Amino acid sequence: MSHCIARIFESLLRFLWPAPEWYRPPAEPPAAPPIDVPPAPGRPPEPVLRGEDSPLVRPYLLAHEQRERARRQRARRRALWLAVHGIDIGPRLIHDVEVVA
């Protein structure tokens, strides 16, 4: 069916836009004898990447880890500053043993 439609459109286009008289379809070049050419050396195939091997990480995961790290650093600094002023807010559990002040 598509060949019939193509022939109809081809004849319609030839009727609407005839080729100029100076135009001749190019002649086919003479067939060259087959030459035995070895295949060109190609690159080795790329390895399949797994998600675990990729260094890319979702930015929201990194942001969460950075916020947690900053929060722990602020808590340590706050505890040190308060300890300098005589206030003990240190950890209540040290090595899974409850410490009382």
Residue 97 lies in a domain: yes
Both tokens of residue 11?
Answer: 């004849």
Summarised one tens digit per residue, pLDDT across range 6-52 is 888 787 777 777 666 666 666 777 777 777 777 677 777 788 777 77
Residue 78 lies in a domain: yes
With a cut of 60, say whether residue 92 has pLDDT above it.
yes
Residue 48 lies in a domain: no
φ/ψ (deg, to 5) at 64:
-65, -45
Closest CA to 79 of 69, 71, 89, 70: 89
Summarised one tens digit per residue, pLDDT across range 61-80 is 788 899 999 999 998 888 88
Q: Give the count of domains, the chain.
A: 1
Domain that residue 94 falls in: 74-101
- Report pLDDT for 70: 96
**Strand partners of residue 94:** 97
- Report pLDDT for 1: 61
Residue 95 lies in a domain: yes
- Report pLDDT for 68: 94
